[in-house]
Every structure is written in structure tokens, then in C-alpha cells.
Structure 1
Amino acid sequence: MTTTTSHVTTKIPPEMAGYRLDKALAELLPEYSRARLQQWIRDGHVQVNAEVLRGRDRVRGGEDVVLLAQTEDQVDWTGQSLPLSVLYEDEDVIIVNKPAGLVVHPGAGNPDQTLVNALLHYAPELAQLPRAGIIHRIDKDTSGVLAVARSLLGHTHLVAQLQAHTIVREYQAVVCGVLVSGGTVNLPIARHPTQRVRMAVVRSGKPAVTHYRVIQRYRAHTHIRARLETGRTHQIRVHLSHERYPLLGDPLYGGRLRYPPDSSEVFQKVLHDFQRQALHAERLGFQHPRTGDYMEWVVPLPEDMQQLLTALADDMRLKN
């Protein structure tokens, strides 16, 4: 890893007289977390009027502060020139539309050719951020909108909004079975006790809440919109499968493919050929880290899900 040192200067304003040093710096330099600032203070990288103070020392107002901000490149992944659909970008965030089939970051079995590799080629400065700025993930075979932090300020604020459950994340999905109405699943999720590639509803797991509502019912399927209150791994897939309405095409949680009675061979082929979970991250919204303004992006359904919904509608019309 390489270390980058930034020379940061600021002045304690008079209205902060009496503040702890670490609290004053956390407000003056919001691009850095308070924990990171406290560590730099302990390491002697902060001077106040040319003196090294403790984090708990009180400031009087008017002091000159010099910070040597030392950051290490957080990843050793390499950038690759890959297709990348950027919906929006500024100095703090990048919003992308991820296609189905693209892995978000390198790992076992996927050492490269991932979204992170594309992002590092597009914006090499992401190497200095944890996980190259990725603050939340969507599964390889899920399509849709995803936020990437581009600066320390963006990373700090977006992670805080995730933890506070204030980021809006809405999905469209097609589930097997006909739902009577919408609802909420509030059940903890953890790694499956015996099948390590799966997640499961586990009493000792982390809290997980999914809200869903019906968009359209078909003969044996339901088109729904789901909103995440939390963001556990495979959350929508696990929750809906637990409720006995697994996502169509889900290879882990979907079970055996079943066709509606008397369905045509053409329709059966459409269902059989849909080889991914029918899940699309449609909407993402949050307060911008720098301006505080609420911003939102909506990505239409990809072509394969549009064709699936057309086939479901055709099947229902032909059988009515």
C-alpha cells in the first residue's frame, strides 16, 4: 500500500471556544470521521498554534490548526477499461447503473472484470477510500442503481446515512405465487448454519426489515415493489423466500420452477430461460454529503425484465 499525506490547515472560530479539540475538528473537517481525527491527534499529526494537544483538550477560539492527514490506498485492485454506465457524478459521489451479471467487487472466483475494476479505471482516486468507495452492494445478477463515494466526505456521510436507515432503496421484483396484499417482513438474517453460500432467517441474526407492495398480480406470479429499511446480504431474496414467495429465477432461494396450469410452450420457455433472480434496484435517494440537498435517481427496468412482464401479462390475458 502507498501512503498519501495531505497538508490541511484551518482556524478554530470564536464560537467554538470551550469545545474539545476532537469535537471542533470533527465539525470543521467533516470529510474525516471523528475516529480518524482522534487517531491523528494521538499520533501527533495535529498541531494547534504549533503545539501538540490531546483530543480532550479545550480550545479557546482563534487557534491555527495544521493537520497532516495520512491516508493509505485501501485497495490493491487494479483499474480496467470496462463499460460503465454513469448516471451522475460530482466530487463526492458517483451513481452508476449496474447491469445484471456484473460482480460488484473482486473476490474468490472473480479476481477482476468487476464494477470496482471499471470504477478504478474511471476514477483512480477511489483507491484511497475503503472498498474503493463502495458503500452498499447489489448482487451479481441484480440490476440497477448503486451509489459510490468519491471522497472521504462522501464516504463518511453516506455510511452514516446507511447506518441511520435514511437512504431510500426501492426495488422491483417478480415473485412466484400470487400475493393477496403488500406487507412487511421484520426478521433477522444471518449466514445459513450449514450452507455457507446462503443467508437465512436466523433468530440470532442481524435485524432486517423489508417492506413490499403489489404492483400487478398474474396467474401464478406477482410483480412487486420492495423497499429496504436495512441492507443485509440477499435480504429481499431471503425474506420473500421465507414468506414462501421466492423470486422468479432465483438460483439460491427460488426452488423448483413451476409453470401455471395449461400454459403455452412459448410462455414456459420464457420462464425457463430467465436465468437470474427477477430483481432490479429501481430507486436510490439520499441527502447529498456536501449540500444536504435530497437527490434521487430512478432506473427503468432492463429489457429482460420488461420482456418477462410482457410474457406474464400475455399469459394472463390468453387464459382469461
Structure 2
Amino acid sequence: MTSAQSSNSNFSENDFNLLEDSEDADNHTSALTATRLSLQFQLDDSYLGQRIDQVAAAVWSDFSREKLKQWLKDGHLLVNGNTVKPKYKCEGNELLTLEVELEAQTSAQPENIPLDIVYEDDDIIVINKPVGMVVHPGAGNSNGTLVNALLHHYPKSSELTRAGLVHRIDKDTSGLLVVAKNLEAQFSLSKQLAKKSVYRVYDLICYGNIIAGGTIDEPIKRHPVDRIKMAILPGGRDAVTHYNVKERFQNFTRVQAQLETGRTHQIRVHFTYIGYPLVGDPVYMSRVKVPAGASELLSDTLRGFKRQALHAAKLGLIHPRSKEEMLFEAPWPEDFTTLVNTLRSENKAY
């Protein structure tokens, strides 16, 4: 375990706006046992005239619309205690009741992979993810992922979509992730992310001299040619990054960035777009740039740093059950610390 810390006190950070005032997670009530799910949701006038299958998919977004339609047909999802067809039009005052046995939601297999657990209780797990660990199985990464490790650590996570994951960080980005251990927690955390009230702060090292902090507000979508990359393009999803300068070197800047949204590669794309790409980024940097006159130590350190210099250092959220504000911190990994120390000694600002 690292020296990562958690706090239930009010946040004391000054650099950014922190968590917004949070309402109760939502108007769900539930009783969860090992595999049986019992959920209720009270509709209001905002749902008037909408199809019940569309409403259910909006209310319980962690389940697919097709699955919810099947539960409607099978009588697991009731409206005012009655079975209705998926095309039923809501009057806006119905009580939805979902009673179902949960089946495995993932085909991934558990693996005994050590986890750096910063905090854990009955509802959430906060993990300090190491560099090189893929978060979710995918093409070319069917095992050795965070999901595989979670399934071994907490087998009931198989009952949750994405094993309880509510957000991700890139394979070669280190730092903090929160994982839900039950559906109520997953709903609550997903809602906080949607409301942009989860506090996510990253430390990064970029090329160039950034003069002052600011905000990058540019839409992001998949690159039209290079499908590995994301890009700033019209019609992309809104993406907002706030940042502050923390330390200046001759040819580099240490920055702290706060995510307002959480798009794929958001920080990497945003800082490349404004002309300050991240040190070591293998996707958005065509080659390693070594400053003229760099010492052998600095040159070797830069050439040996083969991943984006990005670390998810702080994570703030409202606990799904207790409603307490929680703030977690994770120290820099060894390679990031070495990079910063080398810049301090070999690339000091004038």
C-alpha cells in the first residue's frame, strides 16, 4: 500500500473549484443481497408521455435497453405493481419496481493480481493504478487488467456492469480510480460524474513554458484517419480542462490539471492542441525531443521515459451511502518522481 491518504473533512484545496453541493444520490431505494436486486424509482412529470422502456433505460442506465425490455416482458420490472408492454406511455407519476436475480455481467476471468488499495468499505474501492495496467479487457488485452484483478479481489463485482467501474484512466497513466461494489454505489458515482461533481486532479509534465493557468474548452472526438488517436474536431463531445502551473523549468512545465469532463485522452489531446504535449506521450508525440545542450542525465531520462508523464493524483467524491465528502491522494510513482528530480537538477529555470 502506498502512502495515499483519504479524508472525510471539508476540502482545503485553493487552486480549483471543488465538489459542487451534492443532492442525495437519487430517488432510488433498494435492498441488495448477494445476487438479488430490488430497486424502486418514483417517476415525476418530466417522464410524461415517454415510452416505459426508454424511461427505464434512462433511470437504470447500467443495464441495456434490451435487457430492461426483457425484464418488462418477464414481469421483473413492474409499473405500479403491474406488468406493462415496453411501448407503454408514462403518465409521469408511476412507481417502477425492479426485482431480479443478477447474472454475471462480464465474461472476464478473475486473476490473482495485487491491487494497491487506498480505501475500501462495503460500497466503494479506491485504487492507485500502476503504470502499464489496462483498466478493462479489450482487443489484445484479455487478461492482466484491473477488471481481472477486481473479480478476484471481490467476486460479486461480476454482477455489475464493467465490474463496478465508473471511469477509466489510460494504460500508461498512473493514479486513482474509484470502483463501485454494488449497484446503488454505481448509480450514485455515475450520477456524480455526469453532474461533473467528481474532483479529479492530475499532475503532468509537458514540453514548453506555460506562463499561467487557464481553461481549455475544446470538443473531442475520434481522429478520422488515425483511429488510435482522439482529436479536437467540430461535432466532438464537450471537453473542459482547468489547469494551473506548479513548477517551471527551462524547457518544461509541471502542471496540475482538473478534469471537468472525462473524455478519452482528454488531457493529452488538450495540451497537445495548445502546443504543450506531454513528455513521453507515445501517441501524440512523434519522437522524443531533447533540448539543445541537455546533459547526458537529462537526455537519458527523457529517452527512457516511454509513457505519458501523467498521474491521477487526487480524487474527490461524495460517498454513495454516508454522503460524506471524501478526498484521496496518491503520491507520484517512481518514474515520475525521477523525471521531476532530473528536471530540477538538469533543467532549472534561469
Asked if TM exceeds 0.5, the reply is: yes
Quick check: 1:169–1:228 contact (8 Å CA) kept in 2?
yes
State which of 192, 198, 218 in structure 2 corresponds to 1:167.
198
Query: Percent same amino acid among aligned pairs?
Result: 42
Partner residue of 1:52? 82
Residue 322 (structure 2) pairs with residue 302 (structure 1): no
Corresponding residue for residue 118 of structure 1: 149
Is residue 138 of structure 2 the alignment partner of residue 107 of structure 1? yes
| 1:28-47 correspondence runs (5 A) | 33-34=59-60, 40=71, 43-45=74-76
TM-score using structure 2 length: 0.77
Indicate how the Cα distance of structure 1 residues 148 and 5 shifts in structure 2: closer, same or farther if over 3 A, else same: closer
| Amino acid in structure 2 at the alignment position of 1:252 | V
Letter in 1 for 2:233: V
C-alpha distance in structure 2 between counterparts of 1:9 and 1:139, whole Å: 33
Is contact 2:128-2:175 (8 Å) kept? yes
Measured after TM superposition, the shift of residue 83 of structure 1 is: 1.3
Q: CA deviation at 1:67?
A: 5.5
Structure 1 unaligned blocks of 5 or more: 24-31
Deviation at 1:204, TM superposition (A): 1.2
For each residue in 1:230-257, what CA deviation from the matched residue of structure 2 results, as whole angstroms up to 9, or x when unmatched? Answer: 0000000000001110000000112332
Give 1:190's aligned residue: 221
Q: Select 1:97's aligned residue among 125, 128, 145.
A: 128
Q: Secondary structure at the match of 1:237?
A: helix
Who is 1:233 aligned against? Answer: 264
Deviates more, 1:161-170 or 1:260-269: 260-269
Q: Which runs of 5+ in 2 are unaligned?
A: 1-33, 49-57
Q: Tell me the SS of whatever aligns to 2:106.
A: coil
Alpha-carbon distance in structure 2 between the residues aligned to 1:60 and 1:143 = 45
What is the match of residue 28 of structure 1? none
Contact kept? 1:285, 1:294, Cα under 8 Å:
yes
- Name the structure 2 match of 1:6: 36
Q: Do the aligned partners of 2:126 and 2:179 also contact (CA within 8 Å) in 1? A: yes
3-state SS of paired residue (2:102): strand
Taking the aligned partners of 2:79 and 2:262, their CA distance within structure 1 comes to 41
Alignment equivalent of 2:173, drawn from 120, 142, 167: 142
Instruction: Give the direction of change, closer, same or farther, for the CA distance of 1:43–1:298 in structure 2 (3 Å limit).
Output: same
Query: Secondary structure of the equivalent of 1:88?
Result: strand
With the length of structure 1 as denominator, give the TM-score of the two structures: 0.84
- After superposition, the CA RMSD in angstroms is 3.1
Asked if 1:218 corresponds to 2:246, the answer is no
Which entry has the higher C-alpha Rg, 1 or 2?
1
1:181 maps to what in 2?
A: 212
Equivalent residue number for residue 293 of structure 1: 324
Q: Is the 8 A contact 2:68 2:77 kept in 1?
A: no
Q: Does 1:260 align with 2:266?
A: no
Q: Is residue 276 from structure 1 mapped to residue 307 from structure 2 by the alignment?
A: yes
Report the CA distance shift for 1:38/1:118 in structure 2 as closer, same or farther (over 3 A).
Answer: closer
Shift of 1:148: 0.7
Amino acid at match of 2:308: Q
Does the 8 Å contact 2:35/2:159 carry over to 1? no
Question: How big is the shift at 1:180?
Answer: 0.9
Which residue in the other structure is 2:282 paired with? 251
If asked which structure has higher relative contact order (CA below 8 Å, sep 6+), I would say: 2
What's the offset of the Cα at 1:71? 2.5
